[in-house]
Amino acid sequence: MLIKKIKIGGLELKNNLFLSPMAGITNSAFRSLCLEGGAGLAASEMVSADSLKYSSKKSFEMLKVSPGEHPIAVQIFGTCPETMADAAAHAEAAGADIIDINASCPVKKILRSGCGAMLMKNPFLVGNIITAIKKRVKNPVTVKFRVGFTEKENLSVLLARVAEESGADAITVHGRPVSRMHNGEVNLDFLNKAALSVKVPLIGNGGIVSAEKAREMFEAGCAGVSIGRAAVGNPRIFSEIISELNGETAENAGDCDKVKLLARFLILNSELYGEVYGVIRARKLVGYWLKGIRGGAELRKRFMAAKNLNEAKSLLLQYIEKGKSL
């Protein structure tokens, strides 16, 4: 059985298929839909430890966890062990079940500040950050990094060992190098070597769009698999993959189901940000959401012109009604 319960530190999760952290995407509204859609764990957007130190209202808002969104890993980024430990304590107080450390972000601005994937260049610092956080929080602590910086380099074995020795309760490895950002092949061989080098669960990530891709990652030795972009637009991908890997007949979401979920997402988003800004914020996601669906390009164009929740909802309802009569 590939899909099973998994223990991260003292926390038992109902399955080993997780939602990846995605800035600008995995907000409270989206996380709720993915947990409903079967994810064993949801992750927040990354939150800056420095911004929390300087009491940024926006960053504290990002830590908020609503009652329907457990289990959740809140991800923080930064370089200073003490500041990261303070941030972890804030996240735990706000309801995080797991504190996740970002050592994987390839975005230039983040790298320039020494954060994200730049931490991979300094395994001692990674270890110090984990140790400092472990001293401050009770809940499990995890870390996410990449296989390496370039195609040929595998830093993940060393980093996984350092993370485990420093007390990490699980490790996520994105199987693409930093140089590839979020595109290209995932190196399953490197993931396999990293998974074999530690006793704590190693969660593989990158390019999971189907049960087959998830199977490959489990077969490479990963104890769990984390899904990013394929969940955007299809938050039910988790239960679809679970059913398929369990040999059950999976009923995959059709175009209208996806549009219905988008309508629900908009409602949840509007509860968070208001009926105008909630729709504006959703504009960034509709490209992912409507990709590949019949009439998706036209619907997206019209969605971009919607000024508030009512306008957006009626567009989506028209699409669903039309879909029923086809």
Instruction: Give the residues lining the site for ligand FMN (CB under 6 A).
Output: 20-25, 45-46, 75, 102, 104-105, 144, 174, 182, 205-208, 227-230
How far is it, in rounded angstroms, from Cα 281 to Cα 40?
Answer: 26
Which residue, chain included where needed, has tokens 């609503």? 66
Compute the least distance from the CB of residue 85 to ligand FMN, in Å: 19
Q: How far is the CB of 176 from ligand FMN (least distance, A)?
A: 7
The three-point CA angle 86-89-92 to 5° equals 150
Nearer to ligand FMN among residue 74 and residue 309 (C-beta): 74
Q: At 189, which helix (H) or strand (E)?
A: helix 188-196
Q: Is 105 a catalytic residue?
A: yes
> Any idea how long the chain is?
326
Closer to ligand FMN by Cβ: residue 206 or 235 = 206
Of 23 and 272, the one with the shorter C-beta distance to ligand FMN is 23
Query: Does a cis peptide bond (omega within 30 degrees of 0) precede residue 71?
Result: yes
DSSP H helices, 10-80, are 28-36, 49-53, 57-63
> Which residues does residue 272 pair with via DSSP β-bridges, in sequence order?
none
Q: Which is nearer to ligand FMN, 22 or 262 (CB)?
A: 22
Catalytic residue among 34, 105, 222, 256: 105
| Residues 44 and 87 sit within 8 Å (Cβ to Cβ) | no
Q: How far is the CB of 326 from ligand FMN (least distance, A)?
A: 31
Q: How far is the CB of 209 from ligand FMN (least distance, A)?
A: 7
Q: Which residues are designated catalytic? A: 105
